[in-house]
Each structure stands twice: as C-alpha cells, then as structure tokens.
Amino acid sequence: MWFQSNTRTTPTVTNLTDIASAFDSNWSDFFNQYGAANTYYLGSIVTDWSSDGGAQVDTVGTWTPTEGGGASAATAPQVSILISLHIPVRYRGGHGRIYLPYVASGELQSPNYDQISTSLTGRLATYFNDMITGMSGSGVLGGQVMGVYRFRNTAGKNVFVQFPTFTVNARIATQRRRNRKASHR
C-alpha cells in the first residue's frame, strides 16, 4: 500500500515510527473484521521512498499482534478479499488492488462459498474508510493520503495517483502466489 504525506519533506525515523503507529492501530481494527480466528496482524514496515536510501521502520515484533475477529478457521492463503482502487487513469492492469488473505471461512456465503457475506462487505468498506481517514488525520507531516504508485521503479515516469473511490468485491479473489521457483531447462 502506498501513502504520501501532505508535507513533502524527507521524513525522519521518528516521523516513520509515528506513521507506523497510526497505520498499525487503524489496520488492526480493519483486520479484526475479516481475519480468521488464530490469525494475527503482526505489524507493518514503513519505508521512505522519497530518496534512494530512505529510512525504514519495522513494527513486527514490537506491535502487539492483533487476532482476527472471525469465529472460524482461515481459508487457504491464496483465497483473498479483493479491494479495487479506482483511479482516473487508464492503464494495463486496470486499477490498483489490495488482497486480504486469511479470511474467516465463516464469512463465505453458500451455496458456492465463492462470495463473502454482505454484512462483511459493508463492515470492510466502513473500516477501510476509517483507516483512510485516520491516516489523513494522523498529524504526522500533515497526514498521509492513500493512492496508487505507478511506475515506481522508473525515474521520471513514476507518479502517485490518489483514488477517489474503491470497491470491496463480494466475490472472493485468488492472489497469485509463487511458492516455488520453476526450472527453465
């Protein structure tokens, strides 16, 4: 996920720590809505991309893990909830995406169990909006806005685009995961 501070300056490690703290508290509330029992949000890694040697803060190990609020076991790791980020730019790939793994299996609806419950879709939209609002009002470097960072590895072409809307898709998605390296003989 990509955020941009409203004050455009090189953030200090203290700034990054404060941003991570704001994100962790907002994201853990969000994770609690869809995460299965015995799955945990462990923390975040916040990296400054404003320079070649940007600082980094890692809260994994210092953040108190947040357990998912689902009462059932997790679906397989590649089964995810998909949030589509709608930006006013056309490009190959279509839109930014966020995949949410470890969905509580009890949130899947019958008969095919290929969609999440409508109550979860609504809660996720609310909590995602709350996270966006919480980050923009963090008070750190003027707050952070969320967006899609296009061409992030191409100097001179890279651009941060805020998204005006998003959709929590009711149909579950599959996140492509490469668990092994394919040999090329």
pTM equals 0.87
Query: From residue 123, how far is each of 23, 106, 117, 149 by CA, in Å?
Result: 18, 15, 10, 26
Tokens standing for residue 57:
């803060």
**Any idea where the domains of the chain sit in the sequence?**
2-174
CA-based angle 165:168:174, to the nearest 5?
A: 125
Give the pLDDT of residue 50: 82
What is the spatial distance between Cα 48 and Cα 85, in angstroms, rounded to a whole number? 22
The pLDDT of residue 65 is above 60: yes
Whether the upstream peptide bond of residue 111 has omega within 30° of 0, thus cis, is yes
pLDDT in tens, 69-100: 998 999 988 889 999 999 887 776 667 899 99
Give the pLDDT of residue 184: 58
The pLDDT of residue 133 is above 80: yes
Query: From residue 161, how far is each of 55, 89, 124, 134 by CA, in Å?
Result: 23, 8, 22, 19
The pLDDT of residue 25 is above 90: yes
Q: Which residue has the tokens 């853990």?
A: 28
